[in-house]
Every structure is written in C-alpha cells, then in structure tokens.
C-alpha cells in the first residue's frame, strides 16, 4: 500500500499475459484458469485505467477510466491491460493478484504492455493500426512497387465498364470488378 504517481498510459499500462510466463501457461493448461486482478480503493477518487479486450498491447481507443470511492473493490481478469492513473494528490489503494492454488507466482507478476505500433517496411513511418500503415505503404516514396501501384490504381479507376451478365453499367472499372467477383464469378465455372 502506498501513494501512487503513475506515468502516462503508455509507460504505466501493465499486462500479465503479454508473453505468458511458464507458470501462466502451466495454470491455463492444468486448471483451465487464469489469475485475476483486484483493486480496493482506500481513499476517495482512486482511479484505475483499463483497456477492455486488450491482452497484449494497450490500444488507446479502448481506454476506460474507472473512479473508485473508499472501500470500492474491482476484480478483473488478470491478463487484461490495466494501469493506475496520474494523481494530483496522494492516493492509497490495495492492488493485488488473485492466483491459482498450487501455482507460485512472484510478488509482482505484471509486465509492460506497449501501445500498438505498426511500422512501414520502407521508411520510419509508424501508426497504431495495420490499415493505416498498409494504406501508407502503397504510396510510400521508398516503396519500389509505388509506380506499379499508381498505374494499377489509375487503370482500375478508368471510366466505364459494362457487365454483360446482368446488363449493368458501372462508372469505374474497379466497381465493375468488385461486382463481377462478388455476384457472378462464384457461379460461373469456366
């Protein structure tokens, strides 16, 4: 028990399953159970930051702050990413891990869970989602396939294409290809 002064979320987020320890794997295999986290607020306005459904990395979009009063208790899955929050005044709370009988964990069984970060393979560009990096990579100046990607995009966006199967006209060639692959290709055996 002591005063808490947590760092920003990316420095303070913790997970007990980022790389499951041998004991964690043993407990899951033998008992089909995982440990749980427990926080009891001893003073008013005790904050707990949770990242629901985040078990490996802390996704800032899922950040949820729980405000606890004196005597309030929260029990949560021990492998969910969580952290304390920054306080302007001294704050006391009890934070412990509820473990499984017959499995011995150390006193502090938490690990650092970094924020998600995906990097372009051609340049130092980084973003929190794979989609953003994938979109960047297609047009990255250092990507050797950039010219081919641009030419293909221009070709797919050329005007007009007519579907001879259902007699529909499409404004762009790309829209026609999507239509054909979704509606006609599975049914036509060549």
| Three-state secondary-structure class, residue 100 | coil
Give the whole-angstrom CA distance, residue 144 versus residue 138: 10
Q: Taking the model in full, what pTM does it have?
A: 0.42
Q: What is the pLDDT of residues 5-43, one digit of tens each?
A: 332 333 344 444 334 456 666 666 666 666 677 888 888
Helix or strand run (H / E) with residue 25: helix 22-31
Q: What is the pLDDT of residues 94-116, one digit of tens each?
A: 777 776 666 666 655 555 555 66
Give φ, ψ of 134 to 5 degrees.
Answer: -60, -45
Give the pLDDT score at 114: 57
The per-residue DSSP string of 121-183 comes to SSSS-EESSHHHHHHHHHH-TT-TTHHHHHHHHHHHTSEEEEETTTTEEEEEHHHHHHHHHHH
Give the whole-angstrom CA distance, residue 118 versus residue 126: 6
Q: What is the pLDDT of residues 139-185, one digit of tens each?
A: 899 999 998 988 888 877 777 788 888 888 888 888 888 888 888 87
* Both structure tokens of 30: 């033998």
Give the whole-angstrom CA distance, residue 155 versus residue 190: 25
Give the whole-angstrom CA distance, residue 15 versus residue 53: 12
Give the pLDDT score at 3: 39
Give the pLDDT score at 142: 92
């Amino acid at each position: 028990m002591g005063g808490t002064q947590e760092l920003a979320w990316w420095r303070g987020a913790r997970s007990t399953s980022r790389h499951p320890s041998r004991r964690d794997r043993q407990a899951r295999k033998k008992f089909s159970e995982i440990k749980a986290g427990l926080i009891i607020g001893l003073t008013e306005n005790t904050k707990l930051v949770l990242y629901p459904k985040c078990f490996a990395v802390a996704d800032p979009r899922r950040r949820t702050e729980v405000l606890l009063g004196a005597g309030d208790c929260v029990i949560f899955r021990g492998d969910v990413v969580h952290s304390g929050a920054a306080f302007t005044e001294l704050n006391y709370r009890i934070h412990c891990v509820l473990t499984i009988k017959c499995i011995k964990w150390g006193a502090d069984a938490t690990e650092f869970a970094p924020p998600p970060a995906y990097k372009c393979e051609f340049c130092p560009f980084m973003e929190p989602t794979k989609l953003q990096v994938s979109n960047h990579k297609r047009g990255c100046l250092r990507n050797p396939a950039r010219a081919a990607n641009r030419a293909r995009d221009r070709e797919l966006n050329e005007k007009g294409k007519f579907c001879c199967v259902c007699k529909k006209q499409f404004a762009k060639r790309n829209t026609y290809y999507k239509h054909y692959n979704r509606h006609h290709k599975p049914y036509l055996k060549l």
